[in-house]
Amino acid sequence: MTVKPYHHGDLREQLLIAGELALAELPIAKVSLREIARRAGVSHAAPKHHFTSMADLLGEIAARGFDKFIVALGNAAEQSKRQTGEDRLLAMGRAYLRFADQNPAVYGLMFGQVSKMSMTPSLTKSSYEAWTQLESAVAQITGPTQAPIGATYVWSSVHGLSMLKAARRLPPHVSLHAVEEDNLRIMVAGLREL
- Same domain as 148, residue 115: yes
- Same domain as 185, residue 92: yes
- Same domain as 82, residue 45: no
Instruction: Quote the CA–CA distance of 22 and 86 in Å, as a whole number.
Output: 38
**Residues 6 or more apart whose Cβ sits within 8 Å of residue 28:** 105, 108, 109, 113, 116
Instruction: Quote the CA–CA distance of 186 and 173 in Å, as a whole number.
Output: 20
Instruction: Quote the CA–CA distance of 105 and 190 in Å, as a whole number.
Output: 30
- Cβ pair 102, 188 in contact under 8 A: no
- Same domain as 145, residue 94: yes
- CATH number for position 110: 1.10.357.10
pLDDT of residue 6: 47
- Same domain as 154, residue 122: yes
- Same domain as 138, residue 61: yes
Last residue of a domain, one of 35, 51, 67: 51
How many domains would you assign to the chain?
A: 2
Q: How far is CA 32 from the centre of its chain?
A: 21
pLDDT along the chain (194 residues), means of 10: 50 94 92 93 90 94 97 98 96 97 94 84 97 98 97 97 91 88 95 90
Q: 45: domain range?
A: 1-51
